[in-house]
Amino acid sequence: MKISKRTLQLKPSPTLAITAKALELKAQGKDIISLSAGEPDFDTPLSIKEAAEEAIKEGFTKYTAVPGILELRKAISRKTLHEKNINYEPNEIIVTCGAKHAIYNFFQCTLNARDEVLIPSPYWVSYPPMVSLAEGTPIIVQLQEKDNFKITPEILKKNISNKTKILVLVSPSNPTGSLYTQEELEKLIPLIREKNLFVLCDDIYESLIYDNKEPAHLLKIDPTLKSQLIHVSGVSKSFAMTGWRIGWACGPHNIIETMGHLQSQSTSNPNSIAQKAALFGITHDIPELEKMKKTFEKRRDFVCDRLSRIKNISFVKPQGAFFVFVNISSFSKDSVFFSQFMLEKAGLAFVPGKEFGLDGYIRMSFANSFEELNEALNRFEKALSTHFIDIK
């Protein structure tokens, strides 16, 4: 049996592959510190886990409606109204098996052959293959460190063609942690309208924003963009619920309905128990979440302070998420080689920037304890100084 051409092009997720490699080396007894994972190191809050246990005891273990239970979609509606001042009816919301699933379904339901999707780089690793699997064409829009890795109207305009259908907009970004301001988003709106671009707002890190900054969003600036936008989020990052696999999408009814049809023929409903857990998290005050966010902010400050003292590297200080995208091109422009070197010589696992569309960088997660981060940065600095000639 021959494998389909569209899946032969696929590679495993590099972030998951590197994390697996680090775990394998750890299992062999090697001292490895992994700064590659894209998930909080905190446990899911106890009250959320107890809500899941209660759902099991009550027998809430059957199929649910394909787009998710109504009370959860209503809760998402209230949350979006509160945070973005925009109202989505329950039939404009679908609950999915994680935010990644929502994005995959969206591309499958909106792209035809050769439709172009603008993907600012550095990008989350799954966007290009998802677009390709939907027979679309990913157009990589290269952004610069000097611009804080944010797209401008000038850059956007240069990359639009008569085949452009969708713009991917992520704030805060994975892997850079860059956060768009209201003024920056306002400048993009005229072009989005003029070119009739549909915008995928991947907002999975929207609750992890630092420095007391108020998150800007296209919907808050111009609610009439609702018909040209899909908002994707979930509980994985902000509630430390990566393994529960609950995400959602809010958007125009015809798109959400079609995504539901696709979901009905693939996964069906998201896990019933996880839906109840997510519902509790969204509708209750969870004290651990603010503590988690403050801890991430302190870790960010610690890591950035340490990195700023190392010569010949640079970075944009992240304003959200839990990654620093470090420019190591003074040592090596080959981020895969550099990452392999660090894994073998220093026992450190990073994700090569090449996987995010920009070589000469590494993604360093700070979703680790202060003790691990301190030791990791000691090793990192020592490896750079000791093996500088070997690396260069």
pLDDT at 278: 98
Under the banding of pLDDT at 50, 70 and 90, the label for residue 120 is very high
Residues 281, 292: Cα–Cα separation, whole Å: 14
- Residue 387 to residue 346: CA distance in whole angstroms: 10
Give the span between the Cα atoms of 141 and 147, in whole angstroms.
13
Given a contact cutoff of 8 angstroms between Cβ atoms, the answer to whether 212 and 320 are in contact is no
Superfamily of domain 5-44+287-391: Aspartate Aminotransferase, domain 1 (3.90.1150.10)
Residue 325 β-bridge partners: 363
Tokens read off for 326: 């470090």
Task: Examine the pLDDT at 189 and tell me if it is beyond 70.
Answer: yes
SS3 of residue 313 by DSSP? coil
DSSP state of 211: T
- Report the relative pairing of strands 247-250 and 229-234 from DSSP bridges: antiparallel
Instruction: With H, G, I as helix, E, B as strand and everything else as coil, classify residue 177.
Output: coil
290: tokens are 């603010």
pLDDT value at 392 more than 60: no
Single-letter amino acid code for the residue at 163: K
pLDDT of 390 over the 50 cut: no
* Residue-range domain boundaries for the chain: 5-44+287-391, 60-283
The DSSP secondary structure of 239-273, one letter per residue, reads: TT-GGG--EEEE--HHHHHHHHHHHHTTT-SPPHH
Residue 274 has pLDDT above 90, yes or no: yes
**What pTM was computed for the model?**
0.95
Percent of the chain with pLDDT over 90: 88
In this prediction, residues 271-279 reach a mean pLDDT of: 98
Element (H, E) at 201: strand 198-202
pLDDT of amino acid 22 = 78
pLDDT digits (tens, 9 = 90+) for 201-226: 999 999 999 999 988 999 999 999 99
Q: Name the one residue in this structure whose structure tokens are 């998402």.
A: 76
Q: Lowest-confidence range among 26-30, 131-135, 280-284, 315-319?
A: 26-30
Confidence band of 14 (pLDDT split at 50, 70, 90): low
Is the pLDDT score of 21 beyond 80? no
List phi, psi (to 5°) of 152.
-115, 165
Q: Is 358 helix (H, G, I), strand (E, B) or coil?
A: coil
Specify which residues 351 forms β-bridges with.
363
CATH number of the 60-283 domain: 3.40.640.10
Helix residue ranges, H only, the chain:
5-8, 14-27, 46-57, 70-84, 99-110, 127-133, 153-159, 182-194, 218-221, 253-264, 272-283, 287-308, 335-346, 370-386, 388-391
Q: How far is CA 307 from the centre of its chain?
A: 23
DSSP annotation of 171 reads S
Structure tokens at 108: 């499958």
User: 326: Cβ–Cβ under 8 A, 6 or more apart, which residues?
Assistant: 307, 313, 314, 315, 361, 362, 363, 364
Split at pLDDT 50, 70, 90, the class of 391 is very low
Q: Which helix (H) or strand (E) holds 33?
A: strand 33-34
